Amino acid sequence: MTPTAILETALYAADLDAAEAFYGGTLGLVRTMRAGNRHVFFRLEGAMLLVFNPRETERPPGPGGLPVPPHGAVGPGHVAFAATGEELDRWRARLEEAGVVIEADFRWPAPDGAPGPRSIYVRDPAGNSVEFAEPRLWGFAD
Amino acid sequence: MTPTAILETALYAADLDAAEAFYGGTLGLVRTMRAGNRHVFFRLEGAMLLVFNPRETERPPGPGGLPVPPHGAVGPGHVAFAATGEELDRWRARLEEAGVVIEADFRWPAPDGAPGPRSIYVRDPAGNSVEFAEPRLWGFAD
């Protein structure tokens, strides 16, 4: 037995309004839950992206609450979304149109001089490194 | 267009040997890459778990290197792996056998008093909060 799927990926942001505008607005992810200044959650296919305010989640649960363990990281984290080569062109255009700076856009080395898989990197408003990449980067089908 | 899949989930750990023993050993994930004291990567079905040493990844790439943007968070992050109800029983047993402390093990509230989806929480050696949860927690099929 080994885990086959990641159900929840977490990022941290102190400004959840800005995070929601980026992930729910610019990226178009479906927001499923917003709990005040504590968290905002987004639903993808079979997986969730959870954005937490570490100042809230680092506190242990209160009396009578569910025993959800505290957590909370500070500093730029990282996430990558899968995208096809054609989608990467559209992501670049959409991000630029939204005023998001393209921090990097390159192809990884590939054998025999073939065009390698492409990655585009931007920052979310909290400074997390957000990548859009072709799944073949890791040997997965696009 | 919106992202449908998370290709890379990142966690941070200063001690990569300990991280590799936990994720590759105790959890049995397939290690695909280890780069010294910088990172260790694991492959799941269609997604990667990337464990980075933030002291290394927060440095900008050197001259001649690929322009991979720096990142690196400090403090306990979070990840959840999908598991069926039957697998959760087996995870609890395996984790305890490996000497991993079960920090929490509970069912989330469900309507009509039905048994809610179960989550088990442990810590990886770096202190990240690692959850095993039933996908129905988020409305996904198990």
Q: What is the pLDDT of residues B89-111, one digit of tens each?
A: 999 999 999 999 999 999 999 88
Per-residue pLDDT for B140 more than 80? yes
Supply φ then ψ for residue A26, to 5 degrees.
-60, -45
Q: A15 to chain B nearest CA, in Å?
A: 17
- In angstroms, the CA B26 to CA B95 distance is 7
Q: What is the pLDDT of residue A37?
A: 96
Q: Which amino acid is at A100?
A: V
Would you place residue A6 in the very low, low, confident or very high pLDDT band (cuts 50, 70, 90)?
A: very high
Q: A115 to chain B nearest CA, in Å?
A: 15
Q: If one looks up domain B77-142 in CATH, what number appears?
A: 3.10.180.10
Chain A residues 22-41 within an 8 A CB cutoff of chain B: 27-30, 32
Buried-state track B52-82, b at ≥16 Cβ within 10 A, e below 16: bbbebbbeeeeeeeeebbebbbebbbbbbbb
Query: What number is the ipTM of this complex?
Result: 0.97
Q: What is the pLDDT of residue A142?
A: 77
The SS3 call for residue B40 is strand
* Residue B7 or A110, more confident: B7
**In the β-sheet with A6-12, what is the strand arrangement from edge to edge?**
A30-35, A39-43, A48-52, A6-12, B78-82, B129-133, B118-123, B104-107
Q: Is B58 on the interface with A (CB under 8 A)?
A: yes
CATH of A75-142, one of 3.90.700.10, 1.20.81.30, 3.10.180.10, 1.25.40.10: 3.10.180.10
Per-residue pLDDT for A71 more than 90? yes
Kindly give the pairing relationship between strand A129-133 and strand A78-82. parallel
DSSP B128: -
Q: Is B52 on the interface with A (CB under 8 A)?
A: yes
Q: Start-end ranges of CATH 3.10.180.10 in chain B?
A: 1-59, 77-142
* B36 φ/ψ sector (left φ>0, alpha ψ -120 to 50, else beta): left
The SS3 call for residue B52 is strand
Q: Start-end ranges of CATH 3.10.180.10 in chain A?
A: 1-62, 75-142
- Highest CATH level, class, for A1-62: alpha beta
Q: What percent of chain A has pLDDT over 70?
A: 100
User: pLDDT tens, A86-104?
Assistant: 999 999 999 999 999 999 9
User: pLDDT tens, A12-41?
Assistant: 999 999 999 999 999 999 999 999 999 999
Report yes or no: B121 and B103 within 8 Å, Cβ to Cβ. Answer: yes
DSSP assignments along A83-133, one per residue: --HHHHHHHHHHHHHTT----EEEE---GGGPPPPEEEEEE-TT--EEEEE
Closest CB to B73: pick one of A32, A68, A76: A76
The topology under which CATH files domain B1-59 is 2,3-Dihydroxybiphenyl 1,2-Dioxygenase; domain 1 (3.10.180)
Q: Which amino acid is at B104?
A: A
Listed residue (B110, B116, B46, B119) closest to B82, CA to CA? B119
Put simply, whether the predicted model's pTM sits higher than 0.90 gets the answer yes
Would you place residue A140 in the very low, low, confident or very high pLDDT band (cuts 50, 70, 90)?
A: very high
User: pLDDT tens, B48-93?
Assistant: 999 999 999 999 988 888 999 999 999 999 999 999 999 999 999 9
Per-residue pLDDT for A111 more than 90? no
Report yes or no: B94 and A1 within 8 Å, Cβ to Cβ. Answer: yes
Interchain CB distance below 8 Å, B69 and A9:
no
- In angstroms, the CA A24 to CA A20 distance is 5
Listed residue (B58, B5, B61) closest to A128, CA to CA? B58
Angle at Cα A56 formed by Cα A24 and Cα B134, nearest 5°? 65
